[in-house]
Amino acid sequence: MAHANPTSRLTGSRLTPSGLTLEPGMPICQTDLPLDWYQDEFKPYAEEYQALPDRTPETVLPWLDRYVRPAQDHFGDSLLLLAHFYMGGEIVKLVERYGGAVSDSYALALQAARNPEKKVIVESAVHFMAEAVAILAHDDQQVWITNPKAGCTMEMLAKDHLVMPIADQLIERYGDDLMVIAYMNTSGRLKALAGATGGAVCTSSNAHLVVDWARKQNKKILFVPDQHLGRNTAWKLGMELDKLVTLPDPQVHASNYSLTDGTIEGGIQALDRAEMILWGSYCGVHTIFSAAMVGWWQERGWKVLVHPESPLEAVQAADGAGSTDYLWKAAMNAKPGSKIVIGTEGHFVRNAAAEAGKRGVEIKHLADIPDPSFGSAGCGCATMSRNDPPHLAGMLDLLRLGQAPDINLVQSGDSVDEITARRDRLSGEEQGELIRDAKLSLERMIAITEAGA
């Protein structure tokens, strides 16, 4: 059976070491969270951290060592630390310092399955990434997130309670002709929806392969959650853009509309004609990029690369577009003297600039234009950065003491309210069904990607 043992084939991706190092004197630049943002169990660690005289490795590392080293001694080889490339502050460097792995969400998702000896997996990233690890984990592996309030805003605008009422209407109208393709930035519940409709998960590096696979089956696609990645993929594949329908902004309409009440632009006729229907979510970090920003840099001799969560106009104007892995490799492999502007998450660009700068490659952030009329990108993905050093120290120490809060344990199908950190957890039977369907959608992605590689 194709889905009998999907994890047995999860060998296609590898972790890309960041190669980042903590230089002496380099500040541990992490904006302090207000103390009342911490769970009660984590407040003592936050108070200690915030009382450190400065945030250089000379003070932070001995403090972290007091908690991380005993946990490593306690759990030995069964402990695995993970972090995403977009993590703020210096947390990616800290995680690597303690032997952890740093990568994009696809490679992270495979880590439990590929490392069965790791029983306690601690992730510093947003919830959907930790849940993807949990879906593919073996039964005796546990996945913990250092801060359950770390959510991806794109995913938060595509919770199952928002998407399902609309997906149900689409399935009722189009039946088996409708296929859901779920970007990796979705909950397990939406990945399972993709699996149940014959669809697949995709990432920013393989979305074109997955959408092309669906088109060859003459399916009408519901692409969730990122409208920009969906639109950019359609453009990349040469799809007629007037055969795309973008569903209303979930921040404005939630799911309080029907397919026929006029809320959807073009109405039911547009939906009937559509080749791909885009959920209306987006990433606040990437939507700010524009063709004008790209042009500003190009006029000054810079090569511009952007992530495909950016608006279509920016992607069309740029010199290249691709996943975080593509952007990282482009920066690391550029010839000395190259001048590259990257349009993606700010912490990632700063880390890339620091590393590539050692080889004489200049890297700038697309929004770092000294003209206020272009606006500002802020520091990066603020929600991901909620996984700060006190959360890492506290999580590991509480696990060692056997006092880790259940709310930090990530299980497949958990629906999380990132404001309260409350979890809606499925029953064992429901979880089993969800894992089956979600794995199916992940396995299809892997098969499609391997076939297209």
Binding site for ligand SF4 (CB under 6 A): 86, 126, 152-154, 185, 283, 285, 309, 345, 381, 383-384
Provide, rounded to whole angstroms, the least separation between the CB of residue 124 and ligand SF4.
12
Provide, rounded to whole angstroms, the least separation between the CB of residue 205 and ligand SF4.
14
Q: Rounded to the nearest 5°, which phi and psi values hold at 416?
A: -110, 135
Provide, rounded to whole angstroms, the least separation between the CB of residue 168 and ligand SF4.
25
Contact 28, 60 (CB under 8 A): yes
Enter the tokens of residue 150: 């770390």
CA-to-CA distance for 119 and 139, rounded, in angstroms?
9
Provide, rounded to whole angstroms, the least separation between the CB of residue 147 and ligand SF4.
13
CA-to-CA distance for 438 and 328, rounded, in angstroms?
28
Enter the tokens of residue 159: 């919770």
CA-to-CA distance for 161 and 155, rounded, in angstroms?
12
Which residue number, 266 or 284, has a Cβ lying nearer to ligand SF4? 284
Which has the closest alpha carbon to 412: 162, 153, 138, 164?
138
Which residue number, 309 or 388, has a Cβ lying nearer to ligand SF4? 309
Which residue number, 353 or 379, has a Cβ lying nearer to ligand SF4? 379
Which residue number, 57 or 225, has a Cβ lying nearer to ligand SF4? 225
Which residue number, 183 or 302, has a Cβ lying nearer to ligand SF4? 183
Residue with tokens 């396995």: 443
Which residue number, 197 or 204, has a Cβ lying nearer to ligand SF4? 204
Which residue number, 344 or 431, has a Cβ lying nearer to ligand SF4? 344
Provide, rounded to whole angstroms, the least separation between the CB of residue 281 and ligand SF4.
9
> What's the Cα-to-Cα distance from 142 to each of 79, 253, 404, rounded to whole Å?
10, 37, 12
Contact 226, 283 (CB under 8 A): yes
Provide, rounded to whole angstroms, the least separation between the CB of residue 84 and ligand SF4.
8
Provide, rounded to whole angstroms, the least separation between the CB of residue 307 and ligand SF4.
9
Contact 80, 120 (CB under 8 A): yes
Which residue number, 131 or 345, has a Cβ lying nearer to ligand SF4? 345
Provide, rounded to whole angstroms, the least separation between the CB of residue 146 and ligand SF4.
15
Provide, rounded to whole angstroms, the least separation between the CB of residue 309 and ligand SF4.
6
Provide, rounded to whole angstroms, the least separation between the CB of residue 383 and ligand SF4.
6
Enter the tokens of residue 271: 């939906």
Which residue number, 152 or 393, has a Cβ lying nearer to ligand SF4? 152
Which residue number, 96 or 104, has a Cβ lying nearer to ligand SF4? 104
Contact 414, 151 (CB under 8 A): no
